[in-house]
Amino acid sequence: MATHGRGGEEDWGKSKKKKKSGKEATKTDGGWPLIKPKKNLQINRLRGTHLFTIPYFLTSTEARAFIEVAESHGFTHQGSLGPAYGEAYRDNDRISVTDPALAESMWEAGLKKIFDDIKLPGKVPVGLNPNIRFYRYKTGQRFGRHIDESVDLGEGRRTQYTLLVYLSGNSSSKVKDSSSNQDSSVQSLIGGETVFYDHRQGVVAEVAPVEGMALLHIHGAKCMLHEACAVTKNIKYVLRSDVAFA
């Protein structure tokens, strides 16, 4: 029996990016980085439009800026009752914020254009859930097999896709080994793969975290069972939101 991950959803809304002294703002009112638009983003289809990745959705600078701000806010540990109580095993640290400006900047950075070609019967994509979550997985932490539920955001909007953006992971830039004094958040990550399963428990895809890469998959009734494998070295950081349709 599939178990469910928990995630609170908050008010849907829109806000304009704040400008100061006639210059475009670089942060939201909550202090989170605003994402610059990306040109020519490509998608790697792992299972049609139900599961795909977008390399280079964030630059290395943007990804590391999110980690820095998240750590300054402070994470709260999140566990679960476990499969015996109908909940997936969960051991990670979490931050949840509602920031419409951040959601809008990520949507306009390239997701909107990509979802122009992704339609669901009788529905069209309208943007991201402004409830943004940040997850941190230290060595040994993981999130067991589960499905993501679709959530009603009001005003005819409902989440249909999970968005995960890896803020740490493999990078094309050189990183020092663990014997260096470099912050572990920007060192090579080992483990922490996101694995998807079909209805027979066969592996559909195993996605290794890559710094700045986005992973999107359909959720709700068509959600594939999936898990976040244990981290075996360094720290995995992930940004999570959802694509809403109406």
pLDDT tens by residue, 137-189 = 999 999 999 999 999 999 999 999 999 999 999 874 433 333 334 444 456 89
The answer on pLDDT for 126 being more than 60 is yes
Q: What are the E-state strand segments in the chain?
A: 19-20, 23-24, 44-47, 51-54, 76-78, 90-98, 125-128, 131-137, 142-146, 152-154, 157-166, 190-191, 194-197, 203-207, 214-218, 225-228, 231-233, 236-245
Q: How far is CA 76 from CA 3, 71, 73, 107, 186, in A?
A: 22, 11, 10, 27, 21
By CB atoms closer than 10 A (0-12, 13-18, 19+), residue 11 is: exposed
Report residue 53's pLDDT band, with 50, 70 and 90 as the boundaries.
Answer: very high
According to the model, what pLDDT value does residue 201 have? 93
**Contact call for residues 170 and 189 (beta carbons, < 8 A):** yes
- In CATH terms, the superfamily for domain 44-245 is q2cbj1_9rhob like domain (2.60.120.620)
According to the model, what pLDDT value does residue 3 have? 53
According to the model, what pLDDT value does residue 174 have? 36
